[in-house]
A = this chain, B = another copy of it.
Amino acid sequence: MGTFPFHRHAAMPRTTPHRATILQVAREAGVSKTSVSRYFSDERARLSRDMQSRIASAARRLSYHPNQMARGLKGGRSQLIGMLVADIRNPFSVAVMHGVEQACRERGFSLLVCNTDNDPAQEREHLALLASYRVEGLVINAAGQPSRELRALAAQGTPLVLLDRMLSDFEADVVGLDNTQTIDMALDHLRQQGYDNVLYLSEPVAQASSRQARLKHFEQRLADDPTLRGEAHSLALAEDNRLQDVIAGFLSQASGSAPAILCGNGNVTLAVAHALQARGARLGEIGLLGIDELEWCNLVGPGITTLAQPTDAIGRAAVHNLLQRLEEPQRQAPPKRTHYQARLILRGSTCRPNTPDQYDSVSQERP
């Protein structure tokens, strides 16, 4: 695929589905195109009763739907928001997407979703595509460096909102978690539960600013607090053995302490849960706290304590910011950071066995 991947697919001869046009409706109703157009716009009120009903029934008879392509072409408004998702099979991404979609619909926009599977090439391809559909704004949850395509879009004035991660050397609104505070909540909770030796595990930090922020603040806390032991690792989850090794290494040095593992996101939590199960470890004895809530967290052992992100709010905020920029005459407002608080969901994995059973895994949970 070349730089401009815009070849159409090899021509397919085919009969186009027959769809009524505004002209046909106009004829059927015995009125002008303009009136029909008005009927389907926000000027409907300016039509006479009679006209309205004639158009309505004609349109219904022909099951007419205004062609958004033509509308978008004429008015420059596609009514489309694009969303780039790094991994559509990640429950967190889907949950945010749900919020994005709802907000879009409420505001009269539709959502064009593209999944990049964390592949920069796909990301570029999709961005070109979204540009070609003239999306009016873009919600981006993507991997890697900002591509040429993304910069071009931004330069053209397409409003952009980044989810969860900033991009280096790239100005745009960002919506996500308050990473510093989240790490604080996590460590405060673990301390309070009696854990004094914490392993922080993250997916590769690379270009993902939120992962960087979490990792950095974790290390900061470690440095600031002499009574807290711990270490941090960032690793690719695909290398299964690596994770086992890291955990084994951590635990082997943990004698005499109360060890806990803090997972940087839902993927890590899943992988760590597998790893701990493979070791036959008992949750609680080894503390486990995951960032991101997952539907199965209270099914595993005594339940896994999590810090839930307000995914719906994040998605909605992204759209909100987008539309705000869209409405602004001057687009030059400085990039806006919207940060949300995580919510602690207490379960058994952060209850030390010898501690009085302060947190019952079921009753304390507020879903």
The residues of A with any CB-CB pair to B shorter than 8 Å are 3-4, 6-19, 40-42, 44, 56, 59-60, 63, 65-73, 76-79, 88-89, 91, 94-95, 97-98, 101, 105, 107-115, 122, 125, 128-129, 131-134, 152, 155-158, 270, 273-274, 277-278, 294-296, 298-300, 326-329, 331, 362
The reply to whether B67 and A11 form a contact with Cβ atoms under 8 Å apart is no
Q: In the docked arrangement, what's the CA distance between A42 and B10, Å?
A: 7
The reply to whether B40 and A6 form a contact with Cβ atoms under 8 Å apart is yes
* 14 A-B interface contacts by CB (under 8 A): A9-B107, A10-B42, A15-B329, A17-B158, A18-B156, A65-B128, A68-B133, A69-B69, A69-B73, A70-B73, A88-B94, A98-B115, A105-B122, A295-B296
Q: In the docked arrangement, what's the CA distance between A239 and B60, Å?
A: 40
Integer count of this chain's copies in the complex: 2
Which residues of B sit under 8 angstroms from A63, Cβ to Cβ? 152, 155-156
CB A312 to nearest CB in B, in angstroms, measures 11
Q: In the docked arrangement, what's the CA distance between A252 and B57, Å?
A: 60
Main secondary structure of the interface of A (DSSP, over half): loop
The reply to whether A157 and B69 form a contact with Cβ atoms under 8 Å apart is no
Q: In the docked arrangement, what's the CA distance between A42 and B11, Å?
A: 8
Instruction: Select A296's contact among B41, B122, B294, beta carbons within 8 Å.
Output: B294
The reply to whether B108 and A8 form a contact with Cβ atoms under 8 Å apart is yes
CB A66 to nearest CB in B, in angstroms, measures 5
The reply to whether B65 and A7 form a contact with Cβ atoms under 8 Å apart is no
Interface centre among A7, A13, A111, A158 (most CB of B within 10 A): A7
CB A179 to nearest CB in B, in angstroms, measures 25
